[in-house]
Structure 1
Amino acid sequence: MKISSIFNLNKSQAELDFVDIDPTEDTPLFLDPFFLSKKQDDWSINATLTLRNFFQRLINLIREGSESEAKELFDYLHEPNSTCLGLSTDNPQGKGIGNQDTDKIYDSLLRSRAIQTGLIQDIEDNILFVENFGKDKLSDMTTNIITKYLLLYTQNQCRLHNIVLTPNIPSPFFWNAHDNEWQTEYTDMLIINQQKILLVPKGVVSYSKAYTPDKYYNQFVLEFLQNEHLRLQTTLVQRRNNGTQFVTKKSLKAEVPLSKEFLRQFTQEHPEVLETFKNSTDVESLTNLEIDNFNIQQIVQRLITSLQQIPSGAEHASDFHNIIIGILEILFYPHLINPKKEREIHEGRKRIDITFDNAAKKGIFYRLPETHHIPCPYLYVECKNYSRDITNPELDQIAGRFSFQRGKVGLVVCRSIENLNLFINRCKDTYRDDRGLIIPLVDNDLILLLQNHNELNQNFMDSFLSDRIRDIIMG
């Protein structure tokens, strides 16, 4: 039974920001540090900095000859059962890092010339050059190191969906980059059947197929060697009937078969090829349908029907708030991630209904800061289940919550606006006064966006928002 069912959330994977795991079995997804390093949202950046801090500390100790201290750091990298991600087929305790595996990996690192010579710079490089190291072990190491961020994320998601946390529970160990040590703390945790559970953002998991020895070897190393053999006119060069020359990858594989030892030797001689591999390889967030199997049209119709049935007014504000979270998750993923509810600012004097982290690599939420120069590290959402129109005081209240550091873009989601042109003009005034960009969305807008939703092509949503924003900032 998945998290959504255990806690009666009545939400599909598409309406949730976290991977909707079944705590009794592992889901074959992975935390990939290379993927994390490519993402630009705050959560991923902080997690990546922590990973790099740990690994640099480990490398420094190995190079200094402080083997016992390095081994002590490594001893905390056990298999984490709390995320229920990985390759197990039964209970979540299968092919991760056990004690024997930890010793093997550490011994491989200790002996590796890749460490001593500086070939390995990032934790994900281990998968290319170190023996006994695969994507499952890399994911387990990553999970252990960034457990603190997963813990904070889990707490936020549970509060967002009103899932009860158990107080005063010792957390799993996590790496503290500030203190350069492993730590644990007593805190609120999600406990299911006496098992500590950490939720993982669906936007940061992958199948770990991008940064692999096979891809590096086949698409970068062999292609480099093909060009070298052509340049040097070696015996591997063949001619077609029309006189053009070529070198087959098959002939190269026979001469230099794939092994981590070969990749180490090659990369020592040609580090620029690894650099090209890193710079040209990108990873996209998985779609909801890649994570879970469901009928998105049925979900969309259910949301539209539920939205239309919620009465306006304070009594039903919570129901409206809850359904809007799911709708925005469907519409804006993977551009906006990590929603948080009722975030306090100004030392608790003001509250924002929902905040999303801006993780956009394209589309309108990418263009707002890049093209329009409007700061947007976060997007603020205010849900107003009013039976009347929103007026200037509400707009002033929302604008007062913007700042350069937090961002100056927000959505006002409400049931209807009788005079939309007048409201747009009020948003124009706010924008012209340099108090931020406020974008209104009403029920009919959300229904239209849901009806035209396509996970693989978000052009309709992007065009709709672009037109509304253009009315505000260009009108």
Structure 2
Amino acid sequence: MHAQELFCLDPSSNYGFVNIDVINDSLIFLDPSRFHRNVQNFNGDLALEKIFDFCETVLHFYETGEKSQAKQLLQYSGENNLLHFGMSSGKSAGKGFSEDGLKKVFDTISQLSKLDDEERNDINVWSIVIPGFGEDHLSDLSISLVGQEIADYSESVYKKLGIATSARMEKVGNTWDVKSHCFVDARSCLPIVEGKPYRILLCPTQLAVKRYGYSTQSFINKIVLAHKQTEGFNNGSLVREKKLKNGSVKKTPFSKKDLQEKELKKYSGDTYKYKQYALDEIIKYPKYLDELPEGIGLENDNDINSFC
């Protein structure tokens, strides 16, 4: 069953929220890079402020020696089952960080201080460079940070569509509080289904993606190596020469495969070599971040895939 059917809505219409499967997870993610969009009844400005403040708080704890506090926040995946986003039903792929991986995570965080505030407090950058921070973790954590904004949006939908709600507000997940710099309860009135409050949250379709526009590997291949390939060919430092039968010499750029092997040679033995290489390149050339592509959004409310 999907949300529109649950609320007895016309399935041929678009309502602006993702028509989630209310039982199984849907293979879609919340994309924080879309919070700047003007989405009715979703406070994108506050959502962005929460993302920035969370990243700043983690970095502050680390830099002041309060690593246990930073660890607690980093381990907090806070998967929200009421939204039914994620990799698979009944499984939280945002599992936090292993003990073995935490040292590398903190090493990475310490290096983020070399970036300007805008980049070092960008959760999208974190997903590229921090070990163990994959797409599901990014989505789960983003949902937890802006839980109240999602809850407020959900209530606005119920009101607009004339769906009755419970008289009492209930906890529907977690949310980040920019004043206390910690997670607090997200609270909302729930929709009434068959005479009882139904535990569900709704997400604006504009903020959901089927796939993020980047990963660590695609950032390296499509942005970093593409620049180095072009520059190296133009200045003659990365050129393959092949002598032809007529005696002329044909010049071609290094392939990305050969270039990657050359670039990552010094990272040999590093389990997280791709993440570390991406971080090193971002520190040297932060303008690379301006080229991050947008994710693949939903064409309409029903453009989702569910796990059965």
* Separation (CA, whole Å) in 1 of partners of 2:100 and 2:153: 32
Unaligned runs of 5+ in 1: 294-475
Write the mapping of 1:284-433 to structure 2, written as runs, cut at 5 A: 285-288=297-300, 291-292=303-304
**1:207 counterpart residue number:** 210
Matched residues in 1 for 2:239 and 2:75: separation?
A: 47
User: What secondary structure does 1:15 align onto?
Assistant: coil
Closer/same/farther in 2, CA of residues 195 and 58 from structure 1, 3 Å limit? farther
For the 8 Å contact 1:190–1:198, the answer to whether it is kept is no
Aligned-partner SS, 1:173: strand
Determine the structure 2 residue equivalent to 1:114: 111
Instruction: Give the Å deviation of 1:165.
Output: 2.3
C-alpha deviation, 1:78, in angstroms: 2.1
CA deviation vs aligned residue, 1:35-59 (integer Å, no higher than 9, x gap): 334x244633331222112111222
Shift of 1:116: 4.3
- Name 2:25's counterpart in structure 1: 26
The answer for the alignment partner of 1:181 in structure 2 is 182
Counterpart CA distance in 1 for 2:102 and 2:152 is: 29
- How many residue pairs match? The answer is 284
The alpha-carbon distance between structure 1 residues 150 and 237, as it changes in their structure 2 partners (threshold 3 A), is same
Paired AA for residue 93 in structure 1:
G
Aligned partner letter, 2:27: P
In structure 2, the partner of 1:376 is none
Larger Rg: 1
Provide the C-alpha distance between the structure 1 equivalents of 2:158 and 2:240, rounded to a whole number of angstroms: 61
Are 1:138 and 2:141 counterparts?
Answer: no
1:16 match: 15
User: Structure 2 length normalisation: TM-score?
Assistant: 0.79
| Structure 2, gaps ≥5 residues long | 265-272
Normalising by the residue count of structure 1, what TM-score does the alignment of the two structures yield? 0.53
Report whether the alignment pairs 1:220 with 2:223: yes
Asked if the contact 2:14/2:300 (under 8 Å) is kept, the reply is: no
CA distance in 2, matches of 1:191, 1:67: 43
Aligned partners of 1:58 and 1:194: how far apart in 2? Answer: 36
TM-aligned CA distance change 1:275 to 1:173, over 3 Å? closer
Greater mean alpha carbon deviation, residues 152-161 or residues 70-79: 70-79
**CA offsets 1:205-260 (integer angstroms, 9 cap, x no match):** 01233132232111111112113432553465335867454222122133235711
| Secondary structure in structure 1 of the residue aligned to 2:189 | strand
What is the CA distance between 1:26 and its match in structure 2? 0.5
Q: Partner amino acid for 1:70? A: A
Q: Of residues 268, 275, 281 in structure 1, which corresponds to 2:289? A: 275
Contact in 1 for aligned 2:127/2:134 (Cα 8 Å): yes
Q: How many angstroms apart in 2 are the aligned matches of 1:106 and 1:78? A: 18
Structure with bigger RCO (C-alpha 8 Å, 6+ apart): 2
- Alignment correspondent of 1:250: 257
Deviations 1:82-141 (CA, angstroms, capped at 9, x unpaired): 1101111xxx4314323x547677554323243343373301112211111110110000
Distance in 1 of aligned mates of 2:192 and 2:132: 33
Structure 1 CA distance for aligned equivalents of residues 220 and 186 of structure 2: 43
Shift of 1:30: 0.3
Give the Cα–Cα distance (whole angstroms) in 2 for the partners of residues 59 and 286 of structure 1. 33
> Offset at 1:10?
2.5
1:126 alignment partner in structure 2:
126
> Residue type matched to 1:133 in 2?
F
Change (3 A) 1:191 1:218: farther
> Which of 69, 87, 90 is equivalent to 1:93?
90
% identical equivalent positions: 19
User: Which whole-Å CA distance do the structure 1 matches of 2:23 and 2:232 have between them?
Assistant: 53
Q: Distance in 1 between matches of 2:259 and 2:239?
A: 8
Moved more, 41-50 or 203-212: 41-50
> 1:195, 1:289 → 2: CA distance?
20
RMSD, aligned α-carbons: 3.0
CA spacing shift, 1:47–1:81, aligned 2, 3 Å: same
Distance 1:77 1:102, change over 3 A: farther
Q: Structure 1 residues 69 and 170 mapped into 2: Cα distance closer, same or farther (>3 Å)?
A: same
Q: What is the match of residue 408 of structure 1? A: none
User: What CA deviation, in whole Å up to 9, does each residue of 1:388-447 have, x standing for no partner?
Assistant: xxxxxxxxxxxxxxxxxxxxxxxxxxxxxxxxxxxxxxxxxxxxxxxxxxxxxxxxxxxx
Q: Partners in 1 of 2:243 and 2:133 — Cα distance?
A: 41
Change (3 A) 1:209 1:157: same
Report deviation, 1:173.
2.0
